[in-house]
Amino acid sequence: MRVLIQRAKDAHITVDGEDKGGFAQGLVVLIGIENEDGQEDIQWLVNKIINLRIFGDEEGKMNRSVLDIGGDIMLVSQFTLHASTKKGNRPSFINAAKPDQAIPLYETFIKQTEGALGKPVFTGEFGADMQVSLTNDGPVTIWIDSKNRE
């Protein structure tokens, strides 16, 4: 499972033209689910995301988590995080999990994140046409792969 985390001053999401809301400060997390992913990947990533200290403290040092600042989280499924560009110029998404496997994992990811955050998260809709807007703060953008725990 791969996530791309962006620290955001604000974010907003629209799904198939319908406004799904947004927040003033927090994290936008794009989630790519692959064939081998499971519950262990979710638990590890949710813990990492919730506790990642990438918000500034009184001295401006990245020392606070989204929990510490009372921020929000937006979770958006994005199979393109598993694009392979090894051959040619057209990406292959063969490693991305199919919807019947990915949707339950995505829904579990949402529930576990809400439980850890202590409040609802903003979400997209799996497989829908979405527009996500944000102001990347910093910019701070972090890539995490649950199969390569660096």
For position 8, what pLDDT does the model report?
Answer: 98
Task: Give the pLDDT confidence of 35-87 residue by residue, as tens digits.
Answer: 999 999 999 999 999 999 999 999 999 999 999 999 999 999 999 898 888 88
Over 90: is that where the pLDDT of 3 sits? Answer: yes
* Annotated catalytic residue 80: yes
Q: Choose, from 80, 113, 123, 141, the residue flagged as catalytic.
A: 80
For position 49, what pLDDT does the model report?
Answer: 98
For position 92, what pLDDT does the model report?
Answer: 87
Mean per-residue pLDDT of the chain: 94
For CA atoms 125, 127, 131, 136, the dihedral sign is positive
For position 126, what pLDDT does the model report?
Answer: 87
Furthest CA-CA distance within the chain = 48
Helix axes 99-117, 39-51, angle to 10 degrees: 40
For position 94, what pLDDT does the model report?
Answer: 86
Mean predicted confidence (pLDDT) in 3-31: 96
Q: How far is CA 62 from CA 26, 36, 144, in A?
A: 14, 33, 18
For position 136, what pLDDT does the model report?
Answer: 96
Determine what percent of the chain is predicted with pLDDT higher than 70: 100
Q: How far is CA 110 from CA 33, 89, 148, in A?
A: 13, 33, 22
Q: Tell me the two tokens of residue 130.
A: 């979405």
| Dist CA 6 CA 137 (whole Å) | 8
For position 143, what pLDDT does the model report?
Answer: 96
2-145: which CATH number, 3.40.50.360, 3.50.80.10, 3.20.20.70, 3.40.140.10?
Answer: 3.50.80.10
Over 90: is that where the pLDDT of 107 sits? Answer: yes
